[in-house]
Amino acid sequence: MQKKKVTFELEIYNSQEELSVLDRELMQAAVLARENAYAPYSGFKVGAAVLLANGEIVIGNNQENASYPSGLCAERVAVFQAGARFPGIAVKTIAISVNSVRRVVDTPAAPCGNCRQAIAEYEQRQTEGIEILMMGSTGEVYKSASITDLLPLAFGKSYLD
C-alpha cells in the first residue's frame, strides 16, 4: 500500500493591519457587506468580497430564510454575482468576515462545504488558485493560497466526463 500525505498551508496574520493594502481594502469591503447581512434567525452575519482579475470588487452577504435550506451563504452570493456580472473574468481573492449579534467573534470562520465546492468549481474552471482571506470581527486573519487547501479532494467535472 502506498501512502500519501495531504497537507495544507495557511498564513496567519495578527490583524488585518498586517495585510497588504489591497487585501485590507478587500477585507473592509467584506466587513461592510457583513453589516447588511440578513440573519434574523441565527444572528450570525457573514460578508464576502471577491476581487476579480479586472480589478472589480463584488460583494455578498448571507441571506437567511425561515425555511433554512432556502437561504444562501455570503461566499456563494458574491461568487455567483461575480460570475453573472463578469463572466469569464478570473476570481483572484475572496475575503470573508463573520460576526454574531450574540457575541464578538474573534476567530476566523472558513467557508462551509457548499461554498468550498462552489469556489472549487470556479478555481477548476479558471485553472488558477483563488486566495481566501478569513476573519472574525476582530483578531487574526487566515490566508490560504487556494481553495484546495480547504477542500483538497474536491469533486469536479473530471468525474462527469
Q: Which residues are annotated as a binding site?
A: 62-68, 73, 112, 115
Edge-first strand order for the sheet with 131-135 is 11-13, 141-144, 131-135, 91-100, 44-52, 57-61
User: What residues contact 56, with CB distance under 8 A and at least 6 apart?
Assistant: 82, 85, 86, 89
State yes or no: is 25 an active-site residue.
Answer: no
Q: Nearest Cα to 73, choosing from 61, 82, 65?
A: 61
**Is-contact 95 29, C-beta < 8 A?**
yes
Q: Nearest Cα to 62, choosing from 78, 85, 50?
A: 78
Can you list the alpha helix ranges (DSSP code H) found in 7-145? 21-35, 74-85, 113-126
Q: Which residues are annotated as a binding site for Zn(2+)?
A: 73, 112, 115
Catalytic, out of 11, 75, 123, 140: 75
Catalytic residues: 75
